[in-house]
Chains A and B, each alone.
Chain A
């Protein structure tokens, strides 16, 4: 983390480790499943099992890479609540830092899909009048997500300003 994306005078809040496990699980599952279908079909129909082996090898390589990439990506996430605005950073290759003034927030949403719920996670997203404001924090513990939502809503109300 270099100084360009460092939070001003605060430390980043990081995501729950459960989020890393969730992302690892999905990547461990998706690549082998997606590649196994053609591998089995090719093997059964043509008998060229070496092609299938190649596909499975590719799947294994993807899983191993993803294992480390997910870790890097998980570590890249961070958010910090300042007095007047919320900072969110993420990204490894393409990095971004977004700062949303509380006074500009129009909507705070908490969402949690079935997989996320299984891992005890929730996602908080902020909406402003601009569609380009891309302020979403995934992988929060539900109680942290609820706290964040309440606090952001409260701050948003007290600092709200017209368009």
Chain B
């Protein structure tokens, strides 16, 4: 895309003024589009014809060659017509996706122009029918708000579609980004996963096929077919049976296409923007799962799957209510996992409902008099809740477990029929939006039913209130005129955004300097900025062969805190890792470890163990144990209740960590505390990738055990959003052990648990980091 004329000051406004409408270069989809659409019609005709040609037992069994002579031109005509229609629709479809707007114009006669605010985008999916896939093209499908129609852009180059998706999803999350930042994203031809996606669960083909053959649906229809065949053959009526078999075969084919072909290569991945599902053998579909719009989860298990311990997971997503068409090849799906074992289910549910413990809910049974009504499955009925969600279980032939977060409860109903009235039983329904989840607590004792319903309303209210309080946090990031003004003072603008993190955003001022704008409001009593500046100043004359940051200026403008920092040479390691080859990556990581080891040579301004930055800093401690305890005190106080819920034996882990730390004998040295690829800069020097600098000294920086940084460099690598960083982390750990001795392995393990506790307060804002913490503490 050629760079559109960007208006500097109005770039963040939702609607640029009408009068000065800039002339924009609109784009058309790929020129091959009409051919592919014609091809798809041809394919449909071929399939239809094949179905006709199948002998169906009726009298005119064979279509003769003379029939074909007029069918063929007709088919050719239809294909040409579809091609022409495709050409016209292609000719008149134009779209603009740039830094300012998303607009699609369609229609030859009735022209329509649709402009969608980025914030309204609910999901961005990529769909590749086989024909398009052969040419490396893809359809981009945008869903904007419930009730709005879907926008389909077909077809675009696959790399282009992928990069537009990344850009749109970034904007949909209310963050600033530029089209140019999302260059061509390379995605795998088979899975459509980009380098930044990390697969969580991959369904193996053999398991998918076996689970399909064992599904109730398939078993019932094949047994039916067999019985039919056997009886008719026995009575010598096989010719008649053929007529009845045709619909069975057709339903079997559609079942195979829905359950096998559409679900083939099913991958649930974690992308920087939430979860993503990619699937399909011929038609490739890639769909994002908006976690905050999930209304409920259903975990089901048909009886034949029980010996294998397999489950299927579905979710209710608002606006994705096409679930009655049972997830066709190309539509959005409510399937989170078509088949998975317990660990994978736990992993997926942990992502969808962060901090929710599947087994932590105590389940209650129903009174045994329920057998008079539910004689077929009364022993399977269960219900229970914890402070996050309510769950109900039922079914024997197919066991279902429905989970609804309290905050998503739409309404609560008590229902009672005449027989139930006699038995003093009642059902409680937890209503959720349209979808596969149906949470009903069946056949409760009337008193229990009433209490469950009324308390559920209280729980739902409390959960909604908690949700509402979280909303202002995200709204607090609304950009203001003051901000634009501040950026202008330093001769920069939103276009110069280099990167953004949880704490701050960084803008380029010139080649030497950057402006760092903190998200938190300015607090005059907060000395953090000044403390960091003094610490960095004290290293002015120290050279450890590595750039460390330097703060030129600290200031406050319109209630926001900012600093002007020296700009690092080279580029940030984290995005570089995601696109580097394994060989380059390993070589860079080895340099990363060297750089980490050099950090301890930075002089600490305070002798002994100490916290260097923070409200009470500088604060000295007599031992390493005391320092670390002080560091853990704040976060664990916040996360304690949550940890106790998620980890039953957290007390044991805690005491083991302290026992281990008591044994540590080490002389104090400077510890960065947050060495990770996002804070590291890399440069190419004579053909080798070398770490040139480490930034972001923060309140995590202390005077403590230098091994903490080695551990950090290894374990934080696991959080990188490229495929399988864990393998690199294992490799890096082995390298650290090789250089530092076997002892290092033990201490990395200990500091894993330390950082697991230290960052555990992330359960409030970062589910991915919190899940990582839980993994460290479970080891």
Residues of A within 8 A of B (CB): 2-5, 8, 84-85, 93-101, 103-104, 128-135, 161-163
Which of B186-194, B234-242, B412-420 has 4 or more CB atoms under 8 Å from chain A? B412-420
Q: Is the CB of B416 within 8 A of A130?
A: no
Minimum CB–CB distance for A104 against chain B, Å: 5
Q: Which listed residue, A84, A85, A95, A129, touches B421 by the CB 8 Å rule?
A: A95
B727 located at the interface, meaning its Cβ lies under 8 Å from any Cβ of chain A in the complex: no
Residues of chain B within 8 A (CB-CB) of A134 are 413
Could you list 28 A-B pairs, sorted by A, with CB under 8 Å?
A4-B414, A4-B426, A4-B447, A4-B449, A5-B416, A8-B454, A84-B461, A85-B457, A85-B461, A95-B421, A97-B413, A97-B414, A98-B413, A99-B453, A101-B461, A103-B461, A128-B410, A129-B295, A129-B433, A130-B410, A130-B431, A130-B432, A130-B433, A132-B410, A133-B413, A161-B464, A162-B467, A163-B408
User: Other than the known A101-B457, A161-B468, A163-B318, what 10 A-B pairs have Cβ atoms closer than 8 Å?
Assistant: A3-B450, A8-B454, A94-B418, A97-B414, A98-B411, A101-B411, A104-B410, A128-B410, A129-B410, A133-B413
A42 to B293, CA, bound (A): 61
Q: Which listed residue, B421, B434, B461, B467, touches A130 by the CB 8 Å rule?
A: B434
Minimum CB–CB distance for A3 against chain B, Å: 7
Q: Which listed residue, B421, B432, B433, B464, touches A101 by the CB 8 Å rule?
A: B464
A148 to B461, CA, bound (A): 21
B665 located at the interface, meaning its Cβ lies under 8 Å from any Cβ of chain A in the complex: no
Give 1 or 0 for each of B461-475: 1 = CB within 8 Å of chain A CB: 100100110010000
List of 6 A-B pairs having minimum Cβ-Cβ separation, nearest first:
A130-B410, A130-B431, A133-B411, A129-B433, A128-B410, A97-B414
A49 to B658, CA, bound (A): 99
Q: Is the CB of B414 within 8 A of A132?
A: no
Known contacts A93-B418, A96-B416, A130-B432; A104 and B426 CB within 8 A of each other: no
Nearest A residue (CB) for B293: A163
Minimum CB–CB distance for A101 against chain B, Å: 6
Residues of chain B within 8 A (CB-CB) of A3 are 446-447, 450
Q: Is the CB of A5 within 8 A of B434?
A: no
A133 to B457, CA, bound (A): 14
Nearest A residue (CB) for B427: A96
Q: Which listed residue, B431, B447, B471, touches A162 by the CB 8 Å rule?
A: B471
Known contacts A101-B457, A101-B464, A161-B467; A132 and B418 CB within 8 A of each other: no
Minimum CB–CB distance for A163 against chain B, Å: 5
Residues of chain B within 8 A (CB-CB) of A128 are 410-411, 431
Interface residue range, chain B: 35 or more
B460 located at the interface, meaning its Cβ lies under 8 Å from any Cβ of chain A in the complex: yes
B429 located at the interface, meaning its Cβ lies under 8 Å from any Cβ of chain A in the complex: yes
Q: Is the CB of B415 within 8 A of A132?
A: no
A2 to B467, CA, bound (A): 36
Residues of B within 8 A of A (CB): 293, 295, 318, 407-418, 421, 426, 429, 431-434, 446-447, 449-450, 453-454, 457, 460-461, 464, 467-468, 471
Q: Is the CB of B412 within 8 A of A98?
A: yes
Residues of chain A within 8 A (CB-CB) of B293 are 163
Count of chain A to chain B residue pairs whose CB atoms are closer than 8 Å in the complex? 95
A128 to B468, CA, bound (A): 18
Nearest B residue (CB) for A94: B417
Minimum CB–CB distance for A80 against chain B, Å: 13
Nearest A residue (CB) for B468: A161
A96 to B295, CA, bound (A): 24
A155 to B245, CA, bound (A): 58
Minimum CB–CB distance for A102 against chain B, Å: 10
Nearest B residue (CB) for A135: B411
A163 to B499, CA, bound (A): 31
Residues of chain A within 8 A (CB-CB) of B431 are 128, 130, 132-133
Residues of chain A within 8 A (CB-CB) of B415 are 94-96
Residues of chain B within 8 A (CB-CB) of A8 are 454
Q: Is the CB of B434 within 8 A of A131?
A: yes
Q: Is the CB of B471 within 8 A of A95?
A: no
A97 to B418, CA, bound (A): 15
Minimum CB–CB distance for B670 against chain A, Å: 45
Nearest B residue (CB) for A8: B454
A104 to B433, CA, bound (A): 11
A163 to B416, CA, bound (A): 29
Q: Which listed residue, B412, B418, B450, B468, touches A4 by the CB 8 Å rule?
A: B450
Nearest B residue (CB) for A95: B416
Minimum CB–CB distance for A36 against chain B, Å: 32
A161 to B461, CA, bound (A): 10
Q: Which listed residue, A5, A133, A135, touches B414 by the CB 8 Å rule?
A: A5
Q: Is the CB of B467 within 8 A of A94?
A: no
Q: Is the CB of A133 within 8 A of B450?
A: no
Q: Which listed residue, B429, B447, B449, touches A132 by the CB 8 Å rule?
A: B429
A35 to B454, CA, bound (A): 46
Nearest B residue (CB) for A98: B413
Residues of chain A within 8 A (CB-CB) of B433 are 129-131, 163
A135 to B429, CA, bound (A): 13
Q: Is the CB of A163 within 8 A of B295?
A: yes
A136 to B369, CA, bound (A): 33
A163 to B411, CA, bound (A): 13
A95 to B432, CA, bound (A): 21
A48 to B409, CA, bound (A): 60
Minimum CB–CB distance for B475 against chain A, Å: 12
A98 to B429, CA, bound (A): 9
Residues of chain A within 8 A (CB-CB) of B408 are 163
A3 to B447, CA, bound (A): 8
A82 to B410, CA, bound (A): 16
Residues of chain B within 8 A (CB-CB) of A129 are 295, 318, 410, 433
Minimum CB–CB distance for A22 against chain B, Å: 26
A101 to B430, CA, bound (A): 12
A84 to B447, CA, bound (A): 22
Minimum CB–CB distance for A131 against chain B, Å: 5
Nearest A residue (CB) for B438: A132
A117 to B421, CA, bound (A): 36
Residues of chain B within 8 A (CB-CB) of A130 are 410-411, 431-434
Nearest B residue (CB) for A129: B433
Minimum CB–CB distance for A124 against chain B, Å: 15
A81 to B330, CA, bound (A): 45
Chain A CB within 10 Å — which of B429, B431, B447, B468 has the most?
A: B431
A14 to B410, CA, bound (A): 25
Nearest B residue (CB) for A128: B410
Q: Is the CB of A103 within 8 A of B416?
A: no
Residues of chain B within 8 A (CB-CB) of A100 are 410-411
Q: Is the CB of A4 within 8 A of B446?
A: yes
Q: Is the CB of B453 within 8 A of A97?
A: yes
Residues of chain A within 8 A (CB-CB) of B429 are 132
Nearest B residue (CB) for A84: B461
Q: Is the CB of B413 within 8 A of A96?
A: yes
